[in-house]
Amino acid sequence: MVLFFAELPPAPAPAAEETILANVPCSDRPAFVAGGRIVCTPPDEVAAVTVTAARLAASPIDAAFSVVAIDPAAMAAAARVDEALTLVPGVQLFRRTSSVASNPTTQGMTVRAVAGSGAGRALVTLDGVPQGDPFGGWVIWSALPPASIEGALVVRGAGAGPYGAGALTGTVQLLERSRLPEGGQYEAFAGEAGLRGGQFAVALRDVAVFGAAQSTDGWIPVGAGRGAADAPLAFEASSLALRWSPEWTGGDLSLRLAGYREARESGLVGASSRASGLSTSATLTGASPGIGNEWRLQAWAKASDFENSSVAVGAGRAFTTPASVQFGTPAIGLGVNAALRHNTGDGGWELGADVRYADGETRERFRYMAGAFTRGRVAGGSQYVAGIYGEAWRVSGDWLLTGGLRLDRWASFDGERGERDLATSATTLDLRPDDADGLQPTARAAVRRDLGEGFLRAAAYTGFRPPTLNELHRPFRVGNDITEANAGLEPEVLYGLEFGVGGEGAVDWSATLFANRLEGAVTNVTIGVGPGVFPVAGFVPAGGVLRQRQNAGDVDAWGLEADLGWAVSDQLRLTLSGAWTRAEVDGGSAAPQLTGLRPAQTPELAISAEAVWTPVAPLTLRLAVRHEGDRFDDDLNSRVLSAATSADLRLDWRVTPTVDLYVAGDNITDAAVETAQTFDGIESYDQPRTVRVGVVWRP
Residue 531, preceding peptide bond in cis (omega within 30° of 0): yes
3-state secondary structure of 19: coil
> Which of 167, 436, 143 has its CA nearest to residue 303?
143
How would you class 303 by CB atoms within 10 Å of its CB: exposed for 0-12, middle for 13-18, buried for 19 or more? middle
Q: Which tens digits make up the pLDDT trace of 528-542?
A: 887 877 676 667 777
Residue 592 backbone dihedrals phi, psi, to 5 degrees:
-60, -25
**106-130 as b/e, with b when 16 or more CB fall inside 10 Å?**
bbbbbbbbbbbbbbbbbbbbbbbbb
Which of 381-395, 397-411, 457-471, 479-493 is the least confident region? 479-493
Whether the predicted pLDDT of 500 surpasses 90: yes
Q: What is the largest CA-CA distance in the chain?
A: 77
The answer to whether the beta carbons of residues 319 and 229 sit under 8 Å apart is: yes
Residues 105, 324, 278: CA angle, nearest 5 degrees: 40
Whether the predicted pLDDT of 554 surpasses 80: yes
Average pLDDT over residues 647-668: 96
* pLDDT band (50, 70, 90) for residue 273: very high
**182-220 as b/e, with b when 16 or more CB fall inside 10 Å?**
ebbbbbebebebebebbbbbbbeebebbbbbbbbbebbe
Q: Which tens digits make up the pLDDT trace of 604-616?
A: 999 999 999 999 9
Amino acid at the residue 361: E
> Which of 696, 693, 689, 686 has its CA nearest to residue 99?
686
Question: Residue 635: which domain range?
Answer: 3-697
Average pLDDT over residues 97-120: 88
CA 242/CA 407 separation, integer angstroms:
34
Average pLDDT over residues 95-114: 89
The answer to whether the beta carbons of residues 564 and 35 sit under 8 Å apart is: no
> Which of 358, 433, 447, 467 has its CA nearest to residue 401?
447
CA 316/CA 320 separation, integer angstroms:
10
Q: Given the DSSP bridges, would you call strands 294-313 and 481-484 parallel, antiparallel or unpaired?
A: unpaired
- Proportion of the chain in helix, strand, coil states, percent, rounded to 5: 5, 60, 35
State residue 483's pLDDT score.
85
End-to-end Cα distance, the chain: 24
Average pLDDT over residues 342-355: 93
CA 64/CA 563 separation, integer angstroms:
16
CA 33/CA 486 separation, integer angstroms:
44
The answer to whether the beta carbons of residues 61 and 155 sit under 8 Å apart is: no
**239-274 as b/e, with b when 16 or more CB fall inside 10 Å?**
bbbbbbbeeeeebbbbbbebbbbbbbbbbbbbbbbb
CA distances 226 to 37, 319, 635, 681, Å, are: 53, 11, 25, 12
- % of the chain beyond a pLDDT of 70: 92
The answer to whether the beta carbons of residues 499 and 512 sit under 8 Å apart is: yes
| Residue 135 DSSP symbol | T
Give the up-direction half-sphere exposure of residue 32: CA atoms within 13 A in the CB hemisphere.
23
* pLDDT band (50, 70, 90) for residue 35: very low
> Which of 90, 86, 123 has its CA nearest to residue 102?
86
Residue 472 backbone dihedrals phi, psi, to 5 degrees:
-75, -35
- Chain centroid, CA 670 distance in Å: 26
Report the CATH number that the domain containing residue 214 is assigned in CATH: 2.40.170.20
- Within 10 angstroms of residue 660's Cβ, the number of other Cβ atoms is 20
State residue 479's pLDDT score.
66
State residue 117's pLDDT score.
84
| Mean per-residue pLDDT of the chain | 89
> Which of 687, 656, 654, 661 has its CA nearest to residue 188?
661
* Sequence-ordered strand ranges (E) for 530-643: 532-534, 538-540, 545-551, 554-567, 572-586, 605-616, 619-628, 631-632, 640-641
State residue 16's pLDDT score.
30
For residue 309, give the H/E element and its range: strand 294-313
CA distances 359 to 136, 161, 237, 331, 333, Å, are: 11, 25, 25, 6, 7
- % of the chain beyond a pLDDT of 90: 70
Amino acid at the residue 290: G
Residues 599, 113, 638: CA angle, nearest 5 degrees: 25
CA 646/CA 671 separation, integer angstroms:
6
The answer to whether the beta carbons of residues 156 and 510 sit under 8 Å apart is: no
The answer to whether the beta carbons of residues 187 and 212 sit under 8 Å apart is: no
Q: What is the DSSP string of 72-113?
A: HHHHHH-SSHHHHHTTSTT-EESSSS-TTTS-GGG--EESST
Which of 47-56, 106-115, 310-319, 572-581 is the least confident region? 47-56
For residue 395, give the H/E element and its range: strand 372-396
The answer to whether the beta carbons of residues 180 and 245 sit under 8 Å apart is: no
| Residue 681 DSSP symbol | -
The answer to whether the beta carbons of residues 69 and 173 sit under 8 Å apart is: no
3-state secondary structure of 662: strand
Q: 388-391, long-range: CB within 8 Å, 24+ apart, which pairs? A: 388/351, 388/352, 388/353, 389/160, 389/161, 389/162, 389/164, 389/350, 389/351, 389/352, 389/353, 390/349, 390/350, 390/351, 390/352, 391/61, 391/161, 391/162, 391/349, 391/350, 391/444
Whether the predicted pLDDT of 376 surpasses 50: yes
- Chain centroid, CA 192 distance in Å: 27
| Residue 318 DSSP symbol | -
Whether the predicted pLDDT of 4 surpasses 70: no
CA 417/CA 375 separation, integer angstroms:
13
CA 141/CA 147 separation, integer angstroms:
13
Instruction: Give the chain's domain count.
Output: 1
Whether the predicted pLDDT of 3 surpasses 70: no
Whether the predicted pLDDT of 451 surpasses 70: yes
CA distances 148 to 85, 151, 174, 557, Å, are: 15, 9, 10, 35
